[in-house]
């Protein structure tokens, strides 16, 4: 088997696990690449094929349904995944058509039967006869509404399209919807963090525009740099860095402050908090209800010479001890802001997930505010721009606490610590919430609100 064929096999098996067993590509793919012994070039091909296929799965399904002239439900799931992988190569890569067809047919044959191979061959050859633009036109023509057209062409469920439209409209940017959806389908650039006070941005690296210790490498192996630094240099989205900094830079730090990262897993923001706490003479505790994720938090802070105890409790109970000066609540959410990096999430989440998550978010935020001393601040963060998980939660909790809390201007905090103006317009609800966007900031769509206990 050629190296390219092995890359396709790795991609196919990862996609199968994602769609069949609810596996996570970002966790499974690196292990599959290592197991297959792929070199850097072949690992890059496997990664592009996996993530590209998952990101554009909605569009490819519409194309396959037209080309096959049958409902997707009538196609064997394994064969369908082989068709998706082949369609991605035909419509979105420079892979030669014959290679894309033949290799995908072999994957269908291995997963199905002789008949499956013939069916896959016919469908993929039908797709290969026309240009990507012609297929997009056909797919768009099947839509019954503008939102459905955007969903089909730009590969997002319609409910996500509508949620994004409302979130953008909340800051007068509804006309940027297509740019946001397109950004979700692009591979994100690798962003690094040099933990403040513990590491420096390497020579030759490009500083990120918003985080004072974020950077991007011109080339080389980021994981090698992480290993050499002992964890003091990390791969971390710039939005994640800013979410932690919003808490530590919201108000001047007094020595001896007590900080808590309430829902800390997997620990990237905890590491930033730990470095900041070390610099300012503060103490930090972390909590993560999942034992596996709590272990990741301990690994994340191992490179910081600060004792950070990690508990494994329900966050709604953990914050009750009180007396904290700063609490980071990176709340469990739909994750709709990280669809570039976790593309399968768009196909797994549904509108019915939102009310239950919003209720949990309200309970956690109420507990966090209850755990603050007077004058203390909580940063409420979600990796989702969905208004029910952002504005809706904060509005209800502010109503609950009344004059006992005040909202700080998170947009001003982020603007003041950034080299470049992030261009964060006011929200139409009059809040101080800051919303980051993939298409504007090259970050996850992180929402950040700052609430201070009076």
383 in catalytic set: yes
Burial class (CB within 10 angstroms; exposed 0-12, middle 13-18, buried 19+) of 179? middle
Q: How far is CA 336 from CA 163, 348, 387, 395, in A?
A: 10, 11, 11, 20
Asked whether 340 and 315 are in contact (CB, 8 A), the reply is: no
For residue 22, the number of C-alpha atoms closer than 13 Å in the C-beta half-sphere is 2
Catalytic residue, candidates 161, 354, 381, 383: 383
- Cis check: omega of the bond before 26, within 30 degrees of 0: no
Q: List for the chain the helix, strand, coil content (%; round to 5).
A: 55, 10, 35
The CA-to-CA distance between both ends of the chain, in Å, stands at 67
Residues 6+ apart with CB under 8 A from 418: 209, 210, 211, 212
Distance between CA atoms of 273 and 287, rounded to whole angstroms? Answer: 13
Which alpha helices (DSSP H) does 129-237 contain, by range? 132-141, 146-154, 158-169, 177-184, 222-228
Residue 390 CA, chain-centre distance (Å), reads 16
Active-site residue numbers?
Answer: 383
């Amino acid at each position: 088997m050629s190296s390219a064929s092995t890359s396709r096999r790795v991609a196919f098996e990862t996609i199968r696990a994602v769609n069949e067993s609810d596996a996570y590509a970002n966790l499974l793919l690196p292990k599959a690449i290592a197991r297959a012994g792929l070199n850097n070039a072949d690992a890059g091909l496997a990664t592009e094929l996996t993530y590209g296929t998952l990101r554009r799965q909605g569009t490819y399904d519409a194309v396959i349904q037209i080309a096959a002239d049958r409902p997707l439900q009538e196609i064997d799931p394994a064969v369908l995944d082989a068709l998706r992988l082949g369609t991605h190569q035909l419509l979105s890569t420079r892979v030669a058509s014959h290679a894309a067809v033949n290799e995908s047919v072999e994957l269908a044959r291995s997963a199905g039967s002789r008949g499956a191979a013939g069916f896959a061959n016919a469908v993929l050859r039908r797709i290969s006869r026309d240009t990507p633009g012609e297929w997009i036109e056909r797919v768009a023509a099947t839509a019954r509404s503008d939102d459905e057209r955007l969903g089909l062409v730009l590969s997002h469920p319609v409910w996500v399209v509508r949620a994004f439209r409302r979130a953008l409209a909340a800051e007068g940017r509804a006309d940027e919807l297509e740019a946001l959806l397109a950004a979700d389908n692009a591979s994100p650039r690798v962003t690094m963090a040099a933990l403040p006070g513990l590491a420096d941005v390497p020579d030759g690296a490009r500083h990120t525009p918003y985080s004072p210790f974020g950077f991007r490498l011109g080339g080389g192996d980021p994981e090698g740099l992480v290993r050499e630094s002992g964890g003091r240099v990390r791969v971390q989205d710039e939005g994640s860095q800013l979410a932690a900094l919003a808490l530590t830079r919201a108000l001047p730090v007094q020595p001896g402050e007590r900080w808590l990262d309430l829902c800390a897993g997997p620990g990237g923001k905890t590491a930033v908090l730990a470095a900041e706490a070390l610099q300012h003479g503060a103490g930090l505790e972390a909590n993560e209800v999942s034992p596996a994720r709590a272990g990741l938090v301990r690994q994340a802070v191992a490179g910081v010479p600060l004792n950070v105890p990690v508990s494994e409790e329900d966050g709604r109970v953990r914050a009750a001890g009180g007396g904290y000066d700063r609490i980071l609540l990176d709340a469990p959410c739909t994750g709709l802001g990280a669809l570039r990096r976790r593309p399968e999430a768009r196909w797994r989440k549904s509108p019915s997930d939102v009310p239950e998550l919003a209720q949990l978010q309200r309970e956690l935020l109420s507990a966090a505010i209850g755990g603050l001393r007077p004058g203390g601040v909580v940063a409420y963060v979600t990796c989702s721009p969905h208004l029910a998980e952002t504005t809706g939660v904060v509005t209800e909790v502010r109503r609950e606490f009344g004059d006992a809390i005040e909202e700080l201007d998170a947009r001003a905090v982020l603007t003041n610590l950034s080299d470049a103006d992030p261009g964060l317009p006011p929200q139409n609800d009059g809040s101080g919430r800051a919303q980051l966007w993939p298409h504007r900031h090259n970050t996850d769509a992180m929402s950040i609100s700052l609430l201070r206990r009076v």
